[in-house]
Structure 1
Amino acid sequence: MGDRPRQQPPVRKPPSLDSLEVTGTPPHAQFLASEHWSLLATRSMTWNEIFSRTGTYLTVLSAAVIALSLVANATGGFGQDFRTFALLVLPVVLLVGVGTYFRLIEADIEDAWLVIGMNRLRHAYIELAPELDPYFVASHHDDESGMLQTYSFRSRVGLTHWLSGSPVIVGIIDAVVTGVLTAVVCQAVGAGAVLRTIAGVLAALAAAVLLGTMGYRKVRQVRRDYRPRFPS
């Protein structure tokens, strides 16, 4: 018997994309869930940065106050040496505070965008499974009321909610530091107690109004340019 050549198995060509038959439901929910977790992780990082920056600024402020008190005790009062040290330290504290304030404003805006993104994903969940609507606590609308519903589970928030925010607290501290720095400058140039007190109060009020106006304008610009896709 002669050796017969072995027959090679037939080579099958891979099917083209047009000939593939899609069976079952596409995994849209998995894609949406992955994006949801990504936004949630980014929001967690944003909140960590808010707390970290606020804590860092308060630490710098506390260290400056302690240093000023030590210098006052060492020099025997609020004389020339104390004023010189205060004029070196307080501008640095104010610079850190102003930078922290504007970064907190930006972080709050970024957090609002992340909430809007997650609300849109919930809207997609509702479109895939409408029967799940009663079980969602957070909103699935991406307008202002829907964003506030996800933030605080209310469509409206009061004045106390805004006053307790980190940017407002940091802005108030910045205004106080500005007033103290102004009073120290007035004392350095020989102004009386009444004059430097009035100047410090006016400077603090002006700084509070300026910071509040700039923060409000930035937030208002974002609100003006935004157009919701799934309003309530």
Structure 2
Amino acid sequence: MSEERPAPQVPEGAGSAAALRAQLLATEHWSLLASRSTTQSEVLTRISILLTLASAALVSVALVGQATKFSGTFSIFANILLGVLVLVGVLTQLRVMNVSMEDLMYVLAMNRLRAAYADLAPGVESSFMTSLNDDLAGSRETYYFLGRRGVTQVLGSSLVFVVVVNATFVGLLVASLIVTAGASFVAGVISGAVVGVVYAVVSMLISGRIYFRLWKTYVPRRPTPGS
């Protein structure tokens, strides 16, 4: 006969409850960190794939151009290849936009957890460089805890980088289509440049609208005092 195992003892007392709460918070914190790291790694891989595809496409265009002496079916091949680049680029850009919002979610969630840590151990918040508040001001403090956000933070972001790459692809495609249709080279270059700039501006406006629209509907649980 098998021996009966005693039932596990459940610790009692305020100290045990606080320890259990701290353990659960830490588990959630590590889960968020792991998910954030995986998401960032995935989007960086997508960007690398886009750049690799762009490099291979340019080499292919050069080789086909030499083989066809830039006549005959070369323009058709170049337009199709540029169209594929634009499609892949737009899909990558959408993923980068989504990841940016997901990353904001992770930041707000971890801000909430730090607030819970501070409730468990009053005084520990003085050791945090990042924020305990899950609102707009709190997210900015966590992202830019060494000072105010500068324009370089935006211009150097992955989203702006992908938008510039895609704007270049779109401009090249438009210019190629216009020249293929029989227009002059100068007209194609000017049209491509204008369309590329418009694409970049519209993309940034859409991204900004998504970001600021979030704060109009989001209700923080621990807003920054005085905000």
TM above 0.5, yes or no, is yes
SS in 1 for 2:153: helix
**Residue in 2 that maps onto 1:92:** 84
- 1:47 pairs with 2:8: no
Q: Tell me how far 1:190 sits from its aligned partner.
A: 0.7
**Residue in 2 that maps onto 1:150:** 142
SS in 1 for 2:123: helix
**Residue in 2 that maps onto 1:5:** none
Q: Tell me how far 1:182 sits from its aligned partner.
A: 0.7
Q: Which moves more between the two structures, 217-226 or 180-189?
A: 217-226
Residues 183, 200 of structure 1: 8 Å contact kept: yes
**Residue in 1 that maps onto 2:13:** 23
- Give the 4+ runs in structure 1 shifted more than 6 A: none
Q: 1:134 to 1:21 in 2, by over 3 A?
A: closer
Letter of the 2:62 partner, please give it: S
Residues 75, 82 of structure 1: 8 Å contact kept: yes
Tell me, in whole angstroms, the C-alpha distance in 2 between the residues paired with 1:21 and 1:106.
43
Letter of the 2:23 partner, please give it: Q
Partner residue of 1:65 out of 58, 61, 79: 58
Q: 1:143 to 1:155 in 2, by over 3 A?
A: farther
- 1:164 pairs with 2:159: no
Residues 175, 208 of structure 1: 8 Å contact kept: yes
**Residue in 2 that maps onto 1:125:** 117
**Pairwise CA RMSD of aligned residues?**
1.7
Residues 143, 231 of structure 1: 8 Å contact kept: yes
Tell me, in whole angstroms, the C-alpha distance in 2 between the residues paired with 1:229 and 1:155.
24
TM-score scaled to structure 2, two decimals? Answer: 0.88
**How big is each residue's C-alpha offset from its partner over 1:157-199, in whole Å with a ceiling of 9 and x where there is no partner?**
1111111111111111111111110111111111012211211
**Residue in 1 that maps onto 2:4:** none
Q: Tell me how far 1:145 sits from its aligned partner.
A: 2.3
Count of residues in Structure 1 that have an aligned counterpart in Structure 2: 213
| Contiguous gaps of at least 5 residues in structure 2 | 1-6
Letter of the 1:51 partner, please give it: L
Q: Tell me how far 1:24 sits from its aligned partner.
A: 4.2
Residues 102, 215 of structure 1: 8 Å contact kept: no
TM-score scaled to structure 1, two decimals? Answer: 0.86
**Residue in 2 that maps onto 1:79:** 71
Letter of the 1:82 partner, please give it: F
Q: Tell me how far 1:112 sits from its aligned partner.
A: 0.5
SS in 2 for 1:190: coil
**Residue in 1 that maps onto 2:182:** 190
Q: Tell me how far 1:30 sits from its aligned partner.
A: 0.5
SS in 2 for 1:80: coil
Residues 138, 153 of structure 1: 8 Å contact kept: yes
Partner residue of 1:217 out of 198, 209, 224: 209
Q: 1:50 to 1:125 in 2, by over 3 A?
A: same
Q: Which moves more between the two structures, 212-221 or 20-29?
A: 20-29
Partner residue of 2:199 out of 186, 207, 210: 207
Q: Tell me how far 1:21 sits from its aligned partner.
A: 8.8
